[in-house]
């Protein structure tokens, strides 16, 4: 089963969900806003793709953080703490594919090659 993690009103998440639905691929959607980020899943993502990929340093949530908060994110441990506290700072969508692979973001060409 595919699990797509994100926020429902995010445009990129909307595109990813539509892409999966158009191909009749079954998936579970995990809403960060309602359900939070599962701590054990965050560990899996961090190991798979690294904190630099997961933390969206171009987004408004990151820009709204105090300078000291941004400066404190220096490794996987500090990034995880921020991601659990501020779910909107996670680049979206995070996808855990049926084979266990984790990807971040949406790219139709890359996703098509997965199939």
Catalytic residue among 4, 10, 79, 104: 10
- Please give the C-alpha separations between residue 96 and each of 53, 62, 74, 101, in angstroms, as whole numbers: 15, 24, 25, 6
Q: Look at residues 61, 59, 68, 57 and name the one whose alpha carbon lies nearest to residue 85.
A: 61
* Residue in the block written with tokens 């709204």: 64
Beta bridge partners of 31: 6
Phi/psi at 32 (nearest 5 deg)?
Answer: -55, -40
Q: Look up 10 and say whether it is catalytic.
A: yes
How many degrees, rounded to 5, is the angle at CA 98 between CA 51 and CA 18? 85
Which residues are part of the catalytic machinery?
10
């Amino acid at each position: 089963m595919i699990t797509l993690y994100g926020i429902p009103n995010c445009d990129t998440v909307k595109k990813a969900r539509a892409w999966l639905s158009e191909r009749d691929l079954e998936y579970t959607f995990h809403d960060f806003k309602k359900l939070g980020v599962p701590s054990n899943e965050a560990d899996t993502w961090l190991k798979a793709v690294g904190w630099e990929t997961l933390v969206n340093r171009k987004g408004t949530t990151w820009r709204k953080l105090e300078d000291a908060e941004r400066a404190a994110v220096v490794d996987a441990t500090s990034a995880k703490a921020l991601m659990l506290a501020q779910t909107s700072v996670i680049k979206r969508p995070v996808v855990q594919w049926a084979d266990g692979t984790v990807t971040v973001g949406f790219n139709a060409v890359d996703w098509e090659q997965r199939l």
